[in-house]
Structures are given as structure tokens and as C-alpha cells.
């Protein structure tokens, strides 16, 4: 069972699992497997569950959906720790399944609300990759809005390529641009709206998203362009200020660069 927790930890940390919904579901599903693992009694299983939760929480510090999902499950576990083992398992498994279903429903609801903010023939700029934003834009397209989308490539992991492929394969006219061209494109092409996702939304109203989001937000403010953040409530944090940022270590960044450039980088 430790191997399952470690694998999920590595997948989330390395961004093989990305996006708030996928992260929350991956962590929840892993804790679900911990709940079905061998244990002699409820206290022993609760201890295993808390140990796994602590490990998983540290995988992605800026993605609040991860600790929120884990904290919710551990709260339910603590609240029902008086139950015998079989009843304890049954209660937690049912609540986790319900929680996962609610997160999927939230994505659909945001797409419904957000698509109503998009006008026919809007030219939209996106940054990074967000399942929430992708779903929202697709919903607007299905509503015959006839939109077009500009995607920043979003270095160093190039998540914008994922967005561009996802939307273009859906039939939506999509253009991929380098990150540094964002202001020029927003100004020269008269972008109508910028729509981004979020890793975390703090109690102060500040939000954390992929590096480069703040520059695009400032450009939107200067050019009087609507800037929309599409996010589920699982991304809300009770903290009132930013405490840490995600940093890509050099050993992870260099292979990404070498894959895309013909010259050799010195390490």
C-alpha cells in the first residue's frame, strides 16, 4: 500500500497528474485504496490513512485542491473513528465516492456559468492548461458562439500545447503563441477576454496560477480586457496570503529544454 501512495505522490509532484480535479480525484482514490488495505482495527487504519495523507499533501504545495481533498477525507475519518472497522470503511468509501462525484459536477456547473459570459465571435486568450477552462470554452463553442482561442505555450513545461491540441481537435479555431508575445497579441488582435484557471484562491482574493499569469493580468488591465478566473470551490484556501511557490528543480527543467532545442545546454 505504501507503493501506491508513493506512486501517486511522484505522479502529482512530477505533474504526470495535473489539474485541480485530477489531483483531487487521484489523491482521494489513493486514500480510498488505503481504506481497503489490511488493518486490525479502526485506530490502526486511521493511523495509516493519516500517514498517507501527510505524504500526499506535500506533493504540490501550490495546488490547494490537494490538501483540501485530503483534509476533508481525514475530517470524515476522525468524525467516524468511533465506528467498528467494517462500518468505518463503509462510511468513508461512500463519502469519498460522493465527494468525487461532487467535484465532477462542479466542473460541469462552472462550464455552464462561464460559457454564458462568452459572447458570439469572442477572441479569447488562455494561459497554461486547465480542464475547467477547456470545458468552459467547449461549452461556449457547443452553444454556437463561434469563438477563436489564442493559447500561450506556457514554458517551461509547455502546458499551452495541451490546451491548443485539446481545443483544436474539438474543432475550435486555435492559435499557439510564445509567452512573450502575449501583450502584443492582446493589443493588436483586440482580444475580448482572458480566461485562466487557478491553483489556489486565497481568502484575500489573491490567486495562484502558472507563472506568467500576473503579467497577462496586468496587460489585460492596461488594455481594459475582461480577465476571468474559472475555479471550483475546492481551490479556495483559508489562508490570507501566499506562503510558498512551486519551484521546478534544475534536474527536471533541463530535460524539458533539451527535448525541444537542438543545441546542448551546459549544466
Q: Of these residues, 95, 122, 134, 199, which one is catalytic?
A: 199
Integer Cα distance of 175 and 57 in angstroms:
36
Q: Is 78 a catalytic residue?
A: no
Question: How far is 110 from 105, CA to CA, in rounded Å?
Answer: 9
Residue 170 grid cell: 474539438
Catalytic residue among 95, 128, 131, 219: 128
CA-nearest of 135, 103, 137 to 117 is 137
Give the Cα separation of 56 and 234 in Å (integer). Answer: 16
* Structural element, H or E, at residue 48: helix 42-57
Catalytic (active site) residue 206: no
Measured CA to CA in angstroms, residue 144 lies from 110, 199, 219, 237 at distances of 18, 29, 29, 35
Q: Which residue numbers are catalytic?
A: 128, 199
Amino acid at each position: 500500500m505504501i507503493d501506491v501512495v508513493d506512486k501517486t505522490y511522484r505522479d502529482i509532484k512530477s505533474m504526470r497528474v495535473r489539474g485541480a480535479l485530477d489531483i483531487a480525484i487521484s489523491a482521494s482514490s489513493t486514500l480510498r485504496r488505503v481504506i481497503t488495505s489490511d488493518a486490525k482495527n479502526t485506530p490502526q487504519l486511521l493511523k495509516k490513512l493519516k500517514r498517507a495523507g501527510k505524504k500526499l499533501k506535500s506533493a504540490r504545495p501550490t495546488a490547494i485542491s490537494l490538501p483540501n481533498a485530503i483534509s476533508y477525507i481525514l475530517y470524515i475519518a476522525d468524525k467516524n473513528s468511533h465506528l467498528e472497522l467494517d462500518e468505518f470503511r463503509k462510511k468513508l468509501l461512500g463519502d469519498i465516492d460522493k465527494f468525487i462525484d461532487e467535484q465532477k459536477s462542479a466542473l460541469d456547473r462552472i462550464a455552464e456559468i462561464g460559457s454564458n459570459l462568452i459572447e458570439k465571435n469572442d477572441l479569447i486568450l488562455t494561459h497554461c492548461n486547465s480542464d475547467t477552462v477547456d470545458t468552459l470554452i467547449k461549452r461556449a463553442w457547443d452553444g454556437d458562439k463561434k469563438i477563436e482561442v489564442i493559447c500561450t505555450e506556457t514554458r517551461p513545461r509547455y502546458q499551452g500545447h495541451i490546451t491548443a491540441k485539446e481545443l483544436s481537435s474539438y474543432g475550435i479555431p486555435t492559435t499557439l503563441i510564445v509567452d512573450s508575445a502575449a501583450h502584443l497579441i492582446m493589443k493588436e488582435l483586440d482580444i475580448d477576454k482572458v480566461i485562466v484557471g487557478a491553483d489556489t484562491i486565497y481568502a484575500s482574493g489573491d490567486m495562484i496560477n502558472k507563472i506568467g499569469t500576473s503579467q497577462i493580468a496586468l496587460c489585460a488591465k492596461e488594455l481594459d480586457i475582461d480577465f476571468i478566473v474559472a475555479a471550483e470551490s475546492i481551490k479556495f484556501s483559508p489562508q490570507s496570503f501566499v506562503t510558498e511557490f512551486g519551484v521546478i528543480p534544475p534536474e527536471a527543467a533541463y530535460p524539458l529544454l533539451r527535448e525541444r532545442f537542438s543545441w546542448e545546454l551546459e549544466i
